[in-house]
Structure 1
Amino acid sequence: MSVSGIESVGFTPYVPASVSTNGSAKVTGSGSEFGSLVLDGLDRLEQVQDKTDQLSVKAATGDLNAIHDYTIASTEASVTTQLTVAVRNKAVEAFNEIMRMQV
C-alpha cells in the first residue's frame, strides 16, 4: 500500500522544533523549550479539532464529497487528544513524585 498520496489529504505530521530531521532529540537545560513544546502541542490539538469540526459540519449538511476526509480527520483528532492527555498525566505524575521527595 502506497502512502505517497497522503499529502492530498492535507495531513501534515507534527514535528516539534527540538527534534532534528534524523529523529534525535536535542536536550538542553532550559525549561522554556519544554514549555514551548507543550504550547505547540496544544495549538496543534486545537487546529486538528477545528478542522474536524469543520468537516463534521460539512458532512452533516451534505457538502462533503469524500466522507473519508472526515473519518481521517476525526481519527487524527482522537489520537492527538489521547497523546495530549497521556503527556498531561505523565507531567502530573512527575510533579506528584517530586512533591513526595524528602529534602
Structure 2
Amino acid sequence: MTSPIGGISLPSVPTIGALGGVADATAATSAASTTGDGFAATLAGAVDQLQGLQSTSSGLATAAATGDLKDVHDYMIAAQEASLATEMVVTLKNKAVEAFTEIMRMPI
C-alpha cells in the first residue's frame, strides 16, 4: 500500500501468524503442520523476533544518547516497531489465555 504523498511508502500490515511476512507465515504453517506444534512454534518465533526488534531499538537508543547516531529517525522507527510488536505479542498471548480459560470452562 502506498501513500498519496509522494516519496512515502507504507509497508503492508504483517500477518498475525508471524511477524515476518507472507512467506514466513506460509513457512511457519507448513512446518507447524508437519511437526504438530503450530501455535507454540509461531508464538516462540514471534517472541524471538520481538527480542530482536527490542535489542535493535535499545542499541539505537544507546547510540542516540551517546551522540553516535546520525539520523534520529532510525531510532524513532525502531522504537515504534518494537512497541507495536510488543503490543501484538501481548495481545496474542492474552487471547490464547482467554481461549484456554474458555475451553476449560466447557462442561464435559
Q: Which runs of 4+ in 1 moved over 3 A?
A: 1-4, 25-31
Q: Give the letter for the 1:64 counterpart.
A: L
| Map of 1:19 onto structure 2 | 26
Long gaps (5+) in structure 2: 1-5, 12-18
User: How many residues in Structure 1 have an aligned counterpart in Structure 2?
Assistant: 92
RMSD (CA atoms):
2.6
Give ranges in structure 1 of 5+ residues lacking alignment.
Answer: 7-12
**CA separation of 1:31 and 1:3: change in aligned 2, threshold 3 A:** farther
Give the number of the structure with larger relative contact order, counting CA–CA contacts within 8 Å between residues 6 or more apart. 1
Query: What TM-score results when the alignment is normalised by the length of structure 2?
Result: 0.73
Match of 2:74 among 43, 59, 69: 69
Change (3 A) 1:82 1:94: same
Q: Percent identity?
A: 38
TM score, norm. by length of structure 1 = 0.76
